[in-house]
Structure 1
Amino acid sequence: MRPFTFQRIQSLDQASARKANDGHQCIAGGTNLLDLMKKNITVPEVLLDITKALPDQIETTAKGIRIGAMVRNSAAANHDLIRSKFPLVSKALLAGASPQIRNMASIGGNLLQRTRCPYFYDTTLPCNKRNPGTGCGAIDGENRMSAIVGYSTECVAVHPSDLCIALAALDANVIIRTTDKKETIIPFKDFHRLPGETPEQDNNLPVSGIITAVDIPSNQFFKNAAYVKLRDRESYAFALISVAAALELNGNKIVQARLASGGVAHKPWRWYEAEAFLKGKNATLETFQKAAAIVVKETKPLSNNAFKVPMLKGAVEVALQNCLNA
C-alpha cells in the first residue's frame, strides 16, 4: 500500500469540494476500497473520511423510504421498516458478504464497489478496467465468473453487489450531492454503466459527486418477493447467478412483476421483456418457466461460462416460485 494523507471531513460541501481534486478518494466503510489500496489498484494521495458527513438514518418519505448513505448494511437488513415493506432489500443484503463485513459496509459504498474479476485484481495481467488499452484478459481466458449479457470486447467483468440487484428491481433512485450544493437524483437503472469502450467507468457518479442516500418508492411487492443467489460456497462468495424477483398479485393474477439479476453483466440487469410477459398472467409454474425461457434468450455466454445459462433459467423459476411462499 502506498503512503497517503488521511483527512476527516465534517460536511457534505467539504466532501464534495475535496473529492473533486485529483488524487482524492472518499472512504466510508472501506470494505472494498482498502482491498484495492492494498493491491495498488487504487492509489489515492489523499483519503477523505466522510463517515461523519453522510446521513445515517432510515426514514419514510412522501413517496417511500430513504436510506442514508452511511447506514450500515447490517442495520438496513435488520431494520423493521425495510423487513416489512421492502423485504427484497433485506434478503439481498443478508445474502452478501459476512456478518462482520455487513457491520462495516455502508449503503453508499455498496453501490460503488468494483468488480472481483481476477484479471482486475492481478496487476500483472491485462485489464482494460484497471489499465485502459491493455486488453481484456478474461474474454479469451478464464471467464467462468464473467458476463453472459451486456458485455463488450473491452470488458466481460460482472458487477459484484447483491443489494444493487434488489435496488434495480425496485426502481430505486440514487441521491447525490455535488459542488453546486444541489441534490441530484439519478434513477438506479442509469447509475451503473455497461462497459462499451470505457470499461474503467463503472458508474455515472460525477467527479465531485457524493452519494448521500438511496430512495425506494412505495410498492406492493412486499408480500411476494424473493432473492436467489447461486455461488460456489454458501457464505462469503460472490454470485455466479443471482435473481431478485417480486410480484404484485391480485388473487392468482400477476398485476406487476420485477426481475433483476447479478453475476450476468457489468451492471445490475433487469429482464424487462420477461417482466412484460408476466404482467396479466396467472402465477403458475408454467408461466414462470416461460418467463425464464424469455430471460435466457437474451444471453450470449463466453467460452467457459455456458453453464450459467441453465443455472439462470432455473434460478428465475425458483425465485418466482419462492415469491408465492414469501
Structure 2
Amino acid sequence: MTVLVLGGYGAVGRRIVDMLRADGVAAVSVGRDPARADRAVDLHDHSAYEEALNGVGVVVNASGSEDAELARISAGRDIPFVDISATSSYTQALNAVRGPVLLGVGIAPGLSGILVREAISENSTGVDVAIGLGAGEQHGAAATEWTYGLLGARFDDPDGSSVKNFTAGKKFDFPAESGYRRFASLRADFADQHRLTEELAIPVRTYLRLDSRLMTVGLAALTRMPWLSRFTPSVMPGGDRWAILARDHAGRQAWATGREQSVATAVIGAWSARALLEGRIAISAPTWLHSAVSLRDLSEELQAAGITTSPGASGI
C-alpha cells in the first residue's frame, strides 16, 4: 500500500518521503506544484484529494494545512490520517473526527508527550516540559508561521488562569548533551500539554526557548508588540540543536536532544506511517502519539538519527 505525503516536498515532508522509500515503502508526495510533487493536488479541492486517496494505505499531513476536512475524508474511508499537529484549535477539530487519526506526530507535540509519560512519578503533582529549539535552523514556512501565530495570543493554564504566550519565564537545567546554557524558557501553547493535563489529571505546562538568549528575549518582546514580527530577519543567530526536557515536580525527568528538528519530526512521522501500514499501531479513533507509542518503540530510529535520550529511558 502507498503512503500519501501531503506537503511532500516541504522541509519535513520531503524527508518523510525519502525515509519511507529507503525502507521500501511506496511514498507519493502531494502538493500544488507539479514540478516538485509526484501528484499535483490542490488540498482546497476536496474532490481531487479524495480521488488521490485511491490505493492509499496511510496519509501523512506534512503540508501545514489545518483543514480537518482532509482528515474526515481520509478517516471516512478507514485510511489512517497522520498529522504533524501543533495548533491547539486544530487538534481539537481533529479530536472530533470519526475514524483513525494519529495526532501530535513530531517532536513537540509528539516526543514531548512521550517524555512526559517517561518522567511522571506515581504520586506526581505536575510536570513541566521545556522545549529548546535551534534559532538558526531553517524550519520551513509552516513552523515559522506557527511560532509567529502565537504572538500576543493567550491560552488556558491548568489552574484556570489565562496565560499570554512567551511570558512567565522559568529556568531549567537542560542536559549537558544539548549544549544549552541556563536561562529562562517562556510559556507557549503547545497542544499536547492540554491533552496530557486531561489524561493524567495533573497540571502539565510547556515552556519554549531558543538556543539563543537574544532570540528568546526577542520572542518575549514580540509578544507585547506582535506587529514587529514583520521586521524580523529570515536568518536568525543560533544553531540547529533542539532539546526537550520533561521534569516531574518530584524531580524525576526524561529528555531527548538532537540536531535539526525537521529531521527528528520526519523520523517520527515516517516511523508512524510504517507502523500503521504494518499493523504495529492499530487505531480506530483520534489518538495522540504519546498514547500509542513508547520511547522504546522509537529507540532504534532515534539512535540512527543521532538523537540522544536520558539514560535508562525505556531501556535506551
How does the TM-score come out when normalised to structure 2?
Answer: 0.28
How does the TM-score come out when normalised to structure 1?
Answer: 0.27
More helix by share: 2
Q: Greater relative contact order (Cα 8 A, min sep 6): structure 1 or 2?
A: 2
